[in-house]
Homo-oligomer: A and B are copies of this chain.
Amino acid sequence: MKYQGPRGTRDFYPAQMAWRNTLTSAWRKVAIRNGFEEIDGPTFELLDLYKVKSGEGIVSELFHFEDRGGRELALRPEFTPTLARMVAAEANSLPRPIKWFCIPNCCRAERPQRGRLREFLQWNADVIGSDQPVADAECIFLLVDLLAELGLRPEHVHVKISHRQTVRHILAKLGVPEDKMLAAFDLLDRRDKLQPAEFTAGAAQLGLDTFAVERFEQMCRRKYPADDLAHLCRSIGLDGHLKDLEILNEQLRAFGITPWCEYDLGIVRGLAYYTGVVFEVHEVSGAERAMAGGGRYDQLIELFGGPSLPAVGFGMGDVVLTNVLYDKGLIPENVLPSPDVFVVPASEQAVPRITPLVAELRRQGIHARFSYKTTLNVGKLLKEASTVQAAYALILDDRSAGGIVSLKNLRSGEQRDLPLSEVPAAVMRNK
C-alpha cells in the first residue's frame, strides 16, 4: 500500500525545493536590502487570536484542534495576527519605525483550486509606527523591487492602487450614508462574484439609484496610470479631495516605479481593517488571482492590545506568483546546487586516499562528492561526475602518493596536473 499526502499540499522533491529556495532567497535578499528585518512566530496560535480581527466567521476556514489542557489552537491562515501580538507585547522597547518581514507557511481549510492551496508560503512585510506616505510607497517599492528581481516587467504585472478615503468620498457623493460605508466596501469587493441584478439590488439597499450605481460601476472599471492623477481627479469630479493619493503619487515617482503602478478604485481588499491606501499586484491579463495584496491599517495594533500605532504592509503568496513566472518563462531550469568537484580513484593505491581527501575538501567549504561504487573504471566514474553536473573531476592515480593529481574541467574538457595543495584554490576560483 502506498500513502498519499493530504489534498492541497505539496511534496517538494529536490527540483521543486531548489525553486522554492530560489524564491525565498529572493524574498529575503530584497527585503533586507530595503531595510526590513526578519521575524517569525509559531505555526499555530490560540484560536481566539484569529477572532480578534475576523470574528467567529473565520473559524470554519481554519484547521483547529485542542491541546491536552483543552486549549483551542489553530494553524495560522495568515501572519498579521501574530505580527500584531508580537508588536503589542514589546511595543515600548522596539525602535520605530518597525520594519519587519517574514516568510511563514500558512494553512487554510479551504477547497484547493488553481492558485489556492491548503498550505502555502507567504512573504509579509510591514512598516509599523509611521503614518507617512513614504512608508506606503516604500512597501510598494519593495514589491516592485522583488518583481523586477525575478525578471518581471511592467508589461507583465501591475500594482493596482486605491485609497479607502477616496472611495469613501465618491460613495458619499453618490449618496451612501456614513453608517453603510462598510457594507458598501463589502459589496464593491464582491462585485465580480455577483450577477448584475444582485449588484444593483445590493446597491439600492445602500441608497444608490440606478444612475448612481452605473456611475459607480464605471469608475471602478476604469484604470488610471500612475502619474495621471489629474485625469482621475477630473473624471470623478473630486479635485482637491485626493490629497492622500497625490502625496503617495509623488513618492512613487521619487522611487521611480510609476510605470508599474495604476490607480484602480475597484480594488477594495475585503478586510474591514484597512484604513487608507490599499493595493494589489495583478498579472496584466487579469486571468490570475491577485499575486499580492496589502494596505494601511492604522487601528489594528491597538485592537490587539498594543498602543495606537499606524501601520502599512502586504502579503505575497508563492502559488500565484510561481504560476505567473512559469507562464512568462521566468522559472530557471535547474537551480540545484551542483558539486564543485567529484573525486575519482584511478588506481588501487589511490583508493584509501579518496575519503580523507573528500573530508578535507568539505571542511574547507568545497562541495565535494565521490562514488559509493567500488570501481576503478575512470570512464564510468567521470560519467557519474557529469551526471551530477560537477564542475571538476579530481583524478587520483599512483602519482597521488607523491602529491600530484589531475584536475579535469568537466565543462571545457581541459585537464591538467597540479600539486594536491593547489586544488582548493583552483576549484574555488571558478565557484
Give me the interface of A with B, judged by CB distance under 8 Å: 1-7, 9-14, 17-18, 20-21, 29, 32-35, 37-46, 48-49, 52, 63-65, 67-68, 71, 73, 75, 82, 85-86, 88-90, 95, 97, 100, 105, 107, 109, 118-119, 130, 132, 134-135, 141, 145, 148, 251, 254-257, 304-306, 336-337, 339, 352, 355-356, 359-360, 362-363, 365-369, 372, 387
Contacts and interface: CB of A to CB of B under 8 A. Distances in A.
A107 B43 contact: yes
27 contacts: A2-B304, A2-B305, A3-B46, A3-B304, A4-B46, A4-B85, A5-B42, A5-B46, A6-B45, A6-B46, A6-B71, A9-B42, A9-B44, A11-B86, A12-B40, A14-B37, A14-B38, A34-B362, A43-B105, A43-B107, A43-B119, A44-B75, A44-B107, A95-B387, A135-B372, A145-B363, A251-B355
A323 to B, nearest CB: 19
B63 A67 contact: yes
Contact of A255 (B6, B82, B89, B356): B356
A43 B1 CA distance: 22
Contacts of A12: 39-41
Contacts of A85: 2-5
Question: Is chain A's interface secondary structure helix, strand, loop, or mixed overall?
Answer: mixed
Contacts of A43: 9, 43, 75, 105, 107, 119
A17 B45 contact: no
Most buried by B among A97, A130, A141, A363: A363
A4 B362 CA distance: 44
Given A2-B88, A97-B372, A42 B119 contact: yes
Chain B CB within 10 Å — which of A44, A95, A145 has the most? A44
A356 B250 CA distance: 12
